[in-house]
Amino acid sequence: MVKELTMLRWAVLAGFVAIGMAASAQTTSLKDAYQGCFLVGAALNVSEFTGQKNGALITSQFNSISPENVLKWEIVHPKPDTYDFSLADKYVEFGLKNHMEVVGHNLVWHSQTPKWVFEDEKGDPVTREVLLRRMRDHIHTVVGRYKGKIKEWDVVNEALDEDGTMRMSPWRKIIGPDYIQYAYQYAHEADPKAQLNYNDYNLENEAKRGGALKLIELAKKRGVPIQAVGLQDHFDMEWAPVSQLSDTISAFAKLGVKVMITELDVDVLPKATKQQTSDVSVNVAADPKLNPYTNGLPDEIQQQLATRYADLFSTYAKHCGEVTRVTFWGVTDADSWKNGWPIKGRTNYPLLFDRDAKPKPAFEAVIQAAPKNK
């Protein structure tokens, strides 16, 4: 009898614990779990910030947003005398209405920038003076429009090569290495209160990180207003190792800049390139061997992804305060760019929410990795 009663008590207690856990999993959000540590954001596509898709999920989970494409040069400034802010305005409005930190991405990049920017009417390269003037007009018009609304800007995106030297982009070729300095100066003039970021991928690798550290040190010496570095963190299951990630965050924090994780996702598919890269111009031929999970992600890989995400968030949380924002590049697996890059038409699973916008085991693992849940 006593034994039966004890067992009954255990069963009741286990029931309460199970109900409690289910409730906490449902009610806990990413933004609340990491409150006091860093903001948690997501990059949104048009159907998301116009309220057609994932609206409740986005507003309940995230307190910061980034625009997947609508603030890129080719969209806001497609022709020399044409600016088109119709989508960008809606993006900013969505963020402000929902009291989110609105990020601007990006101003000066070699990709998704129309050719006319670098050419004259004959198709020849423009002079340094002309390109600087075009850069200034663009930055003043775009940053000026959202002054006080967009709180931080990725001003220069991906200026470095893998060896840490400057990428020979049209910006670098035509203007010279000081194009970076001018870009930050113009952005600062247009909105002196906005936080200005330098954003790049593979900064966890020593050579490229060295280049970025130099770039920021030099900027500080010259009084160029760069206040934060953005680690894109397009990762896979092994790369970047968390020790390398942690060292990278510390190295930038030591220079006195904030560290933002700006484009996080974890690729679970077999590697399609020899080198670790997130260069959007890479295009690899389709091969069924490189697309093994078209009918769903096996449980084993699902669990490995959860562990990988727990390790990443434990590392970010170790740097609370140095890391001030962690943004996922997308909301659900259905919309991730990783389904189309570097091979078109694959089925990838890089985010915390599945194709039906339901939380994956990786979501719960991220919640559990928060300092307050440990």
Active site residues per annotation: 158, 263
Choose which of 28, 29, 45, 157 interacts with ligand GLA (CB under 6 A).
157
Task: Name the token pair of 339.
Answer: 């389904």
Please give the residues from 278 up to 297 whose contact with ligand GLA meets the rule CB under 6 A: 278, 280
Question: Minimum distance from CB of 69 to ligand GLA (Å)?
Answer: 7
**Shortest reach from residue 142's CB to ligand GLA, in Å:** 15
Of 212, 321, 332, 329, residue with least CA distance to 262: 329
Task: For the CB of residue 105, give the shortest distance to ligand GLA in the complex, in Å.
Answer: 6
Nearest to 171 by CA among 211, 208, 138, 122: 138
Nearest to ligand GLA of 281, 294 (CB atom): 281
Q: Which is nearer to ligand GLA, 239 or 368 (CB)?
A: 239
DSSP of 129-162 = HHHHHHHHHHHHHHHHHTTTTS-EEEEEE--B-T
Q: Which of 146, 337, 353, 363 binds ligand GLA (CB under 6 A)?
A: 337
By CB under 6 A, how many residues form the interface with ligand GLA? Answer: 8
What's at 70, amino acid-wise?
Answer: V
Interatomic CA distance for residues 326 and 322, integer angstroms? 11
* Residue 8 in tokens: 């009954």
* Least spacing, CB of residue 19 vs ligand GLA, in Å: 40
Helix axes 206-221, 179-190, angle to 10 degrees: 60
C-alpha 126/C-alpha 117 separation (Å) is 8
287, amino acid identity: D
Give the H or E element holding residue 171: helix 170-175
| Residue whose CB is nearest to ligand GLA in the complex, by number | 337
Q: Does 348 bind ligand GLA (CB under 6 A)?
A: no
In the structure encoding, which two tokens stand for residue 199, read together? 């954003």
Going residue by residue from 122 to 151, which x/- string records binding to ligand GLA, judged by CB under 6 A? ------------------------------
Is 263 a binding residue for ligand GLA by CB under 6 A? The answer is: yes
Given 197, 232, 332, 347, the residue binding ligand GLA (CB under 6 A): 232
CA distance 273 to 265: 17
Residue 179 · residue 108 · CB < 8 Å: yes
Q: DSSP letter for 177, please.
A: T
Cα gap 261→168, rounded to integer Å: 25
98, 115 in Cβ contact below 8 A? Answer: no
Chain center to CA of 50? 20
Q: Is-contact 227 199, C-beta < 8 A?
A: no
- Are residues 343 and 284 in contact, defined by beta-carbon separation less than 8 angstroms? yes
SS3 helix, strand, coil % of the chain, rounded to 5? 45, 15, 40
Binding status of residue 353 toward ligand GLA by CB under 6 A: no
> Distance between the two ends of the chain, CA-based, in angstroms?
38
Binding site for ligand GLA (CB under 6 A): 105, 157, 201, 232, 263, 278, 280, 337
